[in-house]
Structure 1
């Protein structure tokens, strides 16, 4: 540890700078579907990271396919991804990634970041994941000032679509996974500071029921109520998937109907499912299709399931456990008592690991209540987490921590 102390010591003076960057970034609305906000966020981040001296590329992503309220596919534009690359010809290469998007739309009242109490920053995306971007930046700045920087190459991807499953950036992540030796993703640490080992897989599905319109008074018996049929399907979906071990299901949106005196001919719900294994992905799909087939077998009704799994489950293998141990050893060097545990959450770490890259994906700061107006970041975690990431990079660059060849 003594070899690296002088190189990470300067991070301690950067707490307020990191705080100010996070507030600036959080005050830019970058909801996943707010392209103008994501464009602005990308431009600001490129400027703030200019000192790294990397080659920067702005990547236009293909539009996302989304099931609209009328039950058909349509395309929704995505914001730009930002790639920053330095020394790509190096023998050892590290991928660092985090997303710029948040779950908060421009219409959401939660728009500004502020310290609600000393050391506690509340705001949209302060923890998930603009705080992680600040930690990433400080870690790379520390590496670049060290005498070992020239020994490794690195690339950064800041993507605009992680909160919606990375539909546009998934191919970029897959390609990056195949050309790097280690991945660091700066999603928030768990509330106790631990890293994540095993992760569940995640899929998004739309269950659509079509019935038959009719007058709700004069001709109600000739109608086929799509909302009523969908309500039954939701109960059956929860029951069927709830019986599968380690599977969780969340019916997050329901749409349907027109006027109250019209039997609704169309209804749909959007569902997120988390699974623990590849086998369970097939089981989930089978259950959904069976329920749709049963409803379709009734006169006047047609049901279908659209969507798929976008993040495969990840089980920590021996190589990942080695790197989790190394990260925790770096934490111990810094006086941090951290370990690792499984999580039901998914992130781009799932996608990187599925393409063969050893990935530590909770390198960001500590806080809580993400995806809610109570989202907060503990400011005193910024320096320790930046120091942790920097120390890990320095040990890789110095050769103390070897990377397997690709």
Structure 2
């Protein structure tokens, strides 16, 4: 490790892989799928106990109410777990925010529930990379940082609903991000150490189409086929794809018996705009398609949803933060690249608050959201050292303009 001062070497010396890995294995053994409220409550308890070793106050925050369209086209409230917040030195003039999530995409009845070693350095397991390894190394990095007379204040937010869009924690994220010097989010990095650069926005929608039922043989002309209207809407939305904007009609629910004109259909779709201008263009496109289909098929369409993840462009402040982090990584012998990605995360929401954010500070790994998910164990202590060093340099020097950006 070249380029480190003696003080920085002393800062990083206590970081060891074994306790970080042990926590990761323990936490990965707890199913905390977004819908498993009991598992999330257990996970929140483990996290609260672990992060209590840091100075400051740990609290569990109730989720904001969230409604979802059900198979009958009605809104119903969806339960979520509580979110963990740790506030350290809230009185500090300069503060940062570190975020992660305790939920995974694996439900309690999903067959992928156990960890297995693929080789000496590769761990296959649910949520190991995304992101229980990231949470564990974040804690190790913060603990190391606290040993060297820190003055930087910070908030840690670990939410319970990131995998479904952070709808019950969006306001909490926004409130905690305000006025922060920088943000670090612990989504997994790619196996080669690459970090996510710009991200598109994302919005999930449900279009509830209400038509009129009729007998399919006796008087079909009196019916208004909601399924046909929903299909027409799906085709019109899919035709709106352009450079920098993807629209994915994903599922149609509803219908009726074969001898009945269906009076209900629900089209679920996702759109991902690369820029704020494209997000506005997408909203206009959806509104126009809904109006046209409603008029043509004589149906009523109620649209539920919005762009909950704003696009995350790259600003000069974000480039400067990457310069600081990439220099720290190079000094630690962890060269990294920065590349645009099609995925979204809480970093989108933080960036929308005007705060520079790097959102792949977590463990290295891949095949996330699948039974092939894996984490590279040697990245746990490596990324913990990176966290401690970045916080130390932010504390001592702030974000230096003109730092290297590639």
Q: TM-score interval w.r.t. the shorter chain? A: over 0.9
Please report how far the alpha carbon of residue 266 of structure 1 lies from its aligned counterpart in structure 2 after TM superposition: 0.9
Alignment partners' CA distance in 1, 2:107 and 2:10: 43
**Structural RMSD (CA):** 1.9
Kindly state the Cα deviation for residue 350 of structure 1 after the two structures are TM-superposed.
Answer: 1.3
Aligned to 1:8, which of 2, 5, 12? Answer: 12
CA distance in 1: counterparts of 2:231 and 2:67, whole angstroms: 25
In 2: Cα distance, 1:156 partner to 1:38 partner: 17
Q: Using the alignment, how far apart are the partners of 1:199 and 1:33 within structure 2?
A: 26
After superposition, the Cα gap between the structure-2 partners of 1:125 and 1:261, relative to the gap in structure 1 and judged at 3 Å, is farther
- 2:181 matches 1:177: no
Aligned to 2:45: 43
1:189 paired residue number: 189
**Equivalent in 245, 260, 275 of residue 247 of structure 1:** 245
- Residue aligning to 1:85: 87
Following superposition, the deviation at residue 16 of structure 1 comes to 2.9
Q: Assess, with a 3 A threshold, how the Cα gap between structure 1 residues 20 and 259 changes in structure 2: closer, same or farther.
A: farther
Post-superposition offset of 1:220: 4.1
Structure 1 residue aligned with 2:157 = 157
Give the Cα separation in 1 of the matches to 2:22 and 2:227. 48
Secondary structure at 1:47 match in 2: helix
Residues 366, 299 of structure 1: alpha-carbon distance in 2 compared, 3 angstrom cutoff: closer
1:336 positional shift: 1.2
Match of 1:148 in 2: 149
Report SS of the residue matched to 1:293: helix
Structure 2 length-normalised TM: 0.92
Q: Tell me the CA shift for residue 221 of structure 1.
A: 4.5
| Residue 400 (structure 1) aligned to one of 388, 394, 397 | 397
Structure 2 partner of 1:301: 299
Using the alignment, how far apart are the partners of 1:113 and 1:388 within structure 2? 26
Deviates more, 1:90-99 or 1:320-329: 90-99
Tell me if structure 2 keeps the 8 A contact 1:182–1:403: no
| Structure 1 equivalent of residue 404 of structure 2 | none
The answer as to 2:379 corresponding to 1:381 is yes
- Which of 288, 291, 301 lines up with 2:289 in the alignment? 291
Q: Which residue of 2 aligns with 1:333?
A: 331
- Cα distance in 2, alignment partners of residues 262 and 390 from structure 1: 64
Structure 2: runs of 5+ lacking an equivalent? 402-406
Tell me how far apart the structure 2 counterparts of residues 236 and 39 of structure 1 sit (CA, whole Å): 42
Which residue matches 1:59? 61
Distance apart, 1:392 and its partner CA: 0.6
Q: Does 1:209 align with 2:209?
A: yes
1:231-246 equivalences under 5 Å are 231-240=231-240, 242=241, 244-246=242-244
- 1:148·1:394 contact (CA, 8 Å) conserved in 2? no
Paired residues, what number? 397
Which is worse superposed, 314-323 or 300-309? 300-309
Q: Is the 8 A contact 1:58 1:82 kept in 2?
A: yes
1:325-364 Cα distance to aligned partner (Å, 9 max, x none): 1100001101111121212211111111211222111100
Q: Alpha-carbon deviations, 1:85-128, whole Å to 9, x = none? A: 12111222121110111122223222222223332222222111
Normalised to the residue count of structure 1, the TM-score between the two structures is 0.92
CA distance change for structure 1 residues 70 and 394 in 2, over 3 Å: closer, same or farther? same
Deviation at 1:180, TM superposition (A): 2.4
In 2, Cα distance between equivalents of 1:235 and 1:373: 32
Cα distance in structure 1, aligned partners of 2:118 and 2:338:
29
Q: Distance in 2 between matches of 1:345 and 1:402?
A: 26
Equivalent of 1:365 in 363, 366, 369: 363
What is the rounded CA distance, in whole Å, between the counterparts of 1:402 and 1:292 in structure 2?
46
2 CA distance for matches of 1:261 and 1:119?
Answer: 59
**C-alpha separation in 1, matches of 2:376 and 2:399:** 32
* Cα distance in 2, alignment partners of residues 19 and 245 from structure 1: 42
Q: Which residue of 2 aligns with 1:167?
A: 167
